[in-house]
A and B are shown apart, each in its own frame.
Chain A
Amino acid sequence: AQSVTQLDSQVPVFEEAPVELRCNYSSSVSVYLFWYVQYPNQGLQLLLKYLSGSTLVESINGFEAEFNKSQTSFHLRKPSVHISDTAEYFCAVRTPSGSARQLTFGSGTQLTVLP
């Protein structure tokens, strides 16, 4: 079985400051890792994903996440946040051999960017 822990339920940060949203997972086998973002009153959208290869993955809007196998982590970072980044962020994991059914989500981190 796999599980995902998002260590912070709320992260307030000032505009243009850096931010890190933490995600740790538990799995006995290799995994695919995802970050989804949910803007207010919208559904979830895929932000970025790690499947294989380079452990550093980037999104089109400046976020990046690094897969760290030894620490079983997939933390999300952005060097300078904008007001428009205010949203809830979900980390998710599934195994490569598993089915679509076996996607497990964390409990979410609400990022609030303050002016």
Chain B
Amino acid sequence: EAQVTQNPRYLITVTGKKLTVTCSQNMNHEYMSWYRQDPGLGLRQIYYSMNVEVTDKGDVPEGYKVSRKEKRNFPLILESPSPNQTSLYFCASSTPTGPYTQYFGPGTRLTVL
């Protein structure tokens, strides 16, 4: 089954404790992306990757890091989480050619205390 998986689905942590949210897709997509979803703001892109070892900032990259060492995996790293990073996070991957229909993971709800 074609899918995007994220782990963990729920995470409660404290300020400053480094964490990683994993994302994996089995569709051989070149393009992957991370979004955060906040009430009234819709989805905002954090980082994206056009292919292995190619990553770039989205609209709200501050406080986040990513890496793309393998085509299927695109982890999101919060090196020193803060309460304003409490949010619902989605990973997505996309078809390699237009119109780039995005396939989303189930989401990770992060709470930073």
Classify the secondary structure of B's interface with A: strand
Sorting the interface of chain A by its residue count into under 10, 10 to 19, 20 to 34 or 35 or more gives 20 to 34
Contacts of A44 in B (CB 8 A): 43, 90, 92, 102, 104
Are B56 and A101 in touch, CB under 8 angstroms?
Answer: yes
Option from B42, B90, B104 in Cβ contact (under 8 Å) with A108: B42
Return B46 CB to nearest CB of chain A, in Å.
Answer: 12
Task: Identify the interface centre among B43, B56, B106: most chain A CB within 10 Å of its CB.
Answer: B43
Given A43-B92, A51-B99, A99-B100, 9 extra CB contacts under 8 A: A32-B99, A36-B104, A42-B106, A43-B90, A43-B105, A44-B102, A90-B43, A101-B48, A106-B42
Closest A-B pairs by Cβ, 9 of them: A43-B104, A100-B100, A107-B42, A100-B31, A44-B104, A105-B43, A100-B94, A105-B42, A32-B99
